């Protein structure tokens, strides 16, 4: 059974991450904070004082040191705040770090306009005269790609001072969504009304009892409907901020600004949507199978997650899940498995849901320390898949940090979802292969189809919602509750088909998606999933060339552009082939399930 904790203090230390790995005390944190303050003032003095290779190197090396320490300062507060969003001391550390970030950004805002004022021949001369600059060479010349999008020194400084204000819509939504929202009541097994939590919802929405699903669904959406105007305001402001920044920086569109850093052509994004919209038939077929299997006259949104195989409740303890994960990832080799064992023993994982803890799950790689993985474990199949997903991210962070210098150790979000999804595909394959019970195999197949639907189709639907809302803002059209509702309802119907009967809550789905506050992020789940399907199937076939290429990919950080890194594993997303292959795989899964 899932352990339920009323307080973080009740959770065993071995199931909590140890943030003393970052700073042993608050005094150590304060020391670095004050060091950054002093160095920020020093960095500002380089404005107008960089005239040769030596001064350029000194500025860049000092800025890297300050940025590295700032990352530790911010993460230390963030990790404490995330395990209890009500903790005012932790929140004050985060707030102070954010204020420091604004000062640091303002102090260094002169540099990009300065760099782009140099002739490339002058920069080459600086590097030739100061060999230590070779460490920064790739990033320095990458900056010239942004030349058309960098403003004057004065305007860059103004924008940097506005950083905190411009992030207000996202920050406001996060506080509403994680700290302030109170869900409605549901009836527990003893017949007593209790307040719904996110963790309870994820379980109840899969319950065999339709009345429980409906009650949980209504209770979950209740605060979003109550706050619909406030949330519409934050989302509209966020979209308009993205559009305004794109215009100020001379991008053709907010979408192209969002894709520019990864050097992804907008055609990759548009082709993803077009290919998916052209292959909705298998998803509609699966929805029809769901309606038939559940023997319902009317299929509703709260019926879309209940397992279609009755009587299978897989309770999997945290320790058991960890062992299963290690077995499933055997195709990745002993070094991979040995490292993953360290995560658990080294207290790099925060396991349990507790009051005030941030919802969901994530990995945060901290260069020079180690990855930190946040979970809200519920000892079931979904929790095990969430674990192996985040471990994929964590291993990517570990490998990149171990094999790349600081400047190229961070990897693009575009490639991040590949590592996590490869792990998920390996897990479902392992579970299906070792399971002898037909009923459990059907349950696992059902689970994988639902996982595919959520990670691929749903994310493409979200990506289309983002694209359309930004285009509306760019053409001056209003964004409000009614507009968001109409668009979301239309897309939901297109993707899920006509079998679903709509409750009022369906059209408010946009209001509960935190990823909408990270512009043009969600499509990367789908491209990552398609890439992972390709890689995992070759790994399972024992392709040693792919294994070597994939481990090298994990070690590559940001040493090349994302599309180029993926090409080295055999995946070319500039062609429709990986997307089409993934969609064929989904079609085959649905056909197999239909036969059973």
The residues that are catalytic are 390
The whole-angstrom separation of Cα 265 and Cα 214 is: 42
- Determine the length of the chain: 596
| Contact between 372 and 366 (Cβ < 8 Å) | yes
Q: 412-447 burial, b for 16+ CB within 10 Å, e for fewer?
A: bbbbbbbbbbbbbbbbbbbbeeeeeeeeebbbbbbb
Q: Exposure string (b/e) for 393-408, b if CB count within 10 Å is 16 or more?
A: bbbbbbbbbebbebeb
Distance (Å) of CA 542 to CA 90, 325, 424, 521: 47, 19, 17, 32
Taken in order 445, 451, 454, 455, the sign of the CA dihedral is negative
Q: How many Cα atoms within 13 Å fall on the side-chain side of residue 102?
A: 14
Cα dihedral 205→206→209→211 (10° resolution): 10
Q: Which residues lie across from 500 on neighbouring strands?
A: 299
Q: Which residues contact 437 (CB under 8 A, 6 or more apart)?
A: none
447 in helix, strand or coil? helix
- Is residue 473 within 8 Å of residue 240, measured between CB atoms? yes
Tokens of 278: 């052209």
What the block records as the tokens of 197 is 């939590």
State the DSSP code for 299. Answer: B
Distances (CA, A) of 194 to 183, 185, 186, 202: 10, 5, 6, 15
How many angstroms separate the Cα of 445 from the Cα of each of 324, 426, 427, 595? 17, 13, 12, 12
| Secondary-structure breakdown of the chain: helix, strand, coil percentages, each rounded to the nearest 5 | 70, 5, 25
**Token pair for 427:** 């897990």
């Amino acid at each position: 059974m899932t352990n339920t904790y009323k307080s973080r203090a009740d959770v065993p230390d071995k199931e909590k991450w140890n943030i003393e790995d970052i700073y042993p005390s608050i005094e150590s944190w304060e020391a670095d904070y004050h060091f950054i303050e002093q160095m920020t003032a020093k960095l500002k003095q380089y404005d107008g004082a960089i005239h040769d290779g030596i001064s350029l190197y000194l500025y860049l090396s000092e800025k890297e040191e300050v940025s590295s320490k700032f990352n530790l300062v911010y993460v230390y507060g963030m990790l404490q705040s995330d395990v209890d969003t009500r903790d005012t001391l932790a929140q004050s550390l985060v707030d102070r770090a954010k204020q420091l970030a604004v000062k640091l950004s303002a102090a260094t805002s002169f540099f990009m306009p300065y760099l782009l004022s140099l002739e490339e021949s002058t920069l080459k001369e600086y590097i030739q005269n100061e060999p230590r600059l070779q460490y920064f060479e790739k990033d320095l010349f990458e900056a010239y790609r942004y030349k058309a999008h960098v403003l004057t020194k004065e305007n860059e400084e103004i924008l940097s001072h506005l950083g905190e204000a411009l992030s207000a819509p996202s920050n406001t939504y996060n506080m509403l969504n994680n700290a302030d929202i109170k869900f409605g009541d549901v009836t527990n097994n003893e017949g007593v009304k209790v307040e719904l939590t996110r963790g309870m919802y994820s379980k109840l929405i899969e319950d065999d009892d339709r009345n429980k699903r409906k009650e949980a669904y209504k209770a979950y959406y209740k605060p979003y409907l109550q706050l619909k105007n406030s949330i519409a305001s934050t989302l509209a402001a966020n979209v308009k901020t993205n559009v305004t920044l794109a215009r100020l920086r001379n991008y053709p569109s907010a979408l192209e600004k969002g894709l520019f850093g990864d050097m992804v052509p907008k055609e990759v994004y548009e082709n993803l949507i077009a290919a998916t919209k052209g292959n909705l038939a298998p998803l509609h077929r699966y929805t029809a199978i769901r309606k038939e299997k559940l023997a319902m006259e009317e299929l509703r949104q709260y019926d879309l997650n209940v397992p279609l195989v009755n009587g299978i409740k897989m309770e999997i303890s945290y320790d058991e899940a960890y062992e299963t994960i290690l077995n499933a990832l055997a195709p990745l080799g002993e070094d991979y498995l040995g490292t993953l064992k360290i995560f658990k023993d080294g207290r790099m994982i925060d396991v349990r849901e507790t009051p005030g803890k941030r919802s969901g799950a994530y990995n945060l790689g901290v260069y020079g320390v180690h990855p930190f993985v946040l979970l809200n474990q519920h000892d079931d199949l979904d929790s095990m898949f969430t674990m192996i997903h985040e471990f994929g991210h964590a291993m990517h962070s570990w490998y990149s940090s171990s094999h790349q210098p600081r400047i190229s150790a961070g990897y693009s979000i575009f490639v991040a979802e590949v590592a996590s999804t490869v792990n998920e595909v390996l897990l479902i394959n392992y579970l299906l292969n070792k399971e002898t019970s037909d009923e459990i195999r059907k349950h696992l197949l059902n689970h994988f189809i639902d996982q595919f639907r959520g990670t691929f189709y749903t994310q493409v639907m979200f990506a289309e919602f983002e694209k359309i809302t930004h285009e509306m803002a760019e053409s001056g059209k209003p964004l409000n509750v009614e507009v968001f509702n109409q668009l979301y309802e239309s897309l939901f119907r297109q993707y899920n088909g006509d079998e679903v009967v709509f409750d009022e809550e369906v059209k408010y789905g946009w209001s509960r998606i935190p990823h909408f506050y990270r512009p043009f992020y969600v499509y990367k789940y789908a491209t990552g999933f398609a890439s992972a399907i390709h890689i995992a199937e070759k790994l399972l076939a024992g392709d040693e060339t792919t294994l070597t290429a994939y481990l090298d990919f994990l070690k590559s950080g940001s040493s090349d552009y994302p599309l180029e890194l993926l090409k080295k594993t055999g995946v070319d997303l500039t062609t429709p082939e990986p997307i089409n292959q993934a969609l064929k795989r989904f079609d085959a899964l649905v056909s197999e399930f239909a036969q059973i």
